[in-house]
Copies of this chain bind each other. A is one copy, B any other.
Amino acid sequence: MYIASEHTAHFTRKHAPSDGANCLRDLFSKQPVEHRSGNRSLFLEGDEAAHVFQVVEGTLRIFKIISDGRRVITGFLYAGDIVGISLGKRYLYSADAVSSTTVRRLTRNQFDSGIDESPRLRTEVSALVSDEMAAAQDQMVLLSCKSAEERMCSFLLKLLKKSELLGERRLSIELPMSRQDIADYLGLTIETVSRTITKLINKRVLRIENAVARHSISVERPVLLAQLAGDDDDCSDMRHDLVVQGSQRRH
């Protein structure tokens, strides 16, 4: 199972103790780094889940190919994230590098025996799996009933928050993946992604950095972006009052 960044990647870094294997990061630290270019995949859906990977640098793409050849990207992984904690025997999805990427790997046995020794690591793994599940749920909500614009804004907002966590001061987003990748992740077509970005630029929400063409975007109005994303954190305020039967219309 891949790990859905956010809190977790952050978490992994923050609690870094001196040595031993007090956090998952330490487990990987002695492994050699491997380099991956765009086309060779780390593993394929259905392969025996022999390894667990940690992203050192770059971006990974987690995806499934369905019967008619279409691709569904179920997640992206960034530096610090861990992938392959698939508790089953086989990977549930394929993984390859979006751009030039370096990873470390542990065999399943190394990983399992590593976490067996330490209750602390077990807790960390549990937290990672839980985060991954939460990310999957959020993605289901996004795909269930958000418009193209809401999806695009949610996606950008997530990237923005991530770059803020990493200590970026400017409101700029690096998009290592292609428009096609974004489309396959958000359940849209490449044209809709393009059109939506253009619309957001016209609304003065975004601005294209002249630098690296269209893979660097600056956010002019982050507040508007958050509003357009439309996920006010699933309204954990208005809970106990209305757990009514039907939902409103519009999907």
Contact = CB atoms under 8 A, between A and B. Distances in A.
A50 to B, nearest CB: 16
The range of chain A's interface size is 35 or more
Interface in A57-73: 64-72
Contacts of A64: 137, 141, 234
A169 to B, nearest CB: 29
Q: How many copies does the complex hold?
A: 2
Contacts of A130: 1, 86-88, 92
A243 to B, nearest CB: 6
A193 to B, nearest CB: 11
Interface string A211-251: 00000000000000000001111111011101101111111
A135 B88 CA distance: 13
A134 interface: yes
Nearest to A145: B70
Interface of A: 1, 41, 44-46, 64-72, 74, 86-88, 92-94, 96, 126-127, 129-134, 136-137, 139-141, 143-145, 178, 180, 183-184, 187-190, 230-236, 238-240, 242-243, 245-251
16 contacts: A45-B236, A45-B239, A64-B137, A66-B141, A66-B145, A67-B231, A67-B232, A67-B233, A72-B144, A74-B140, A87-B127, A129-B133, A139-B140, A143-B187, A183-B251, A187-B251
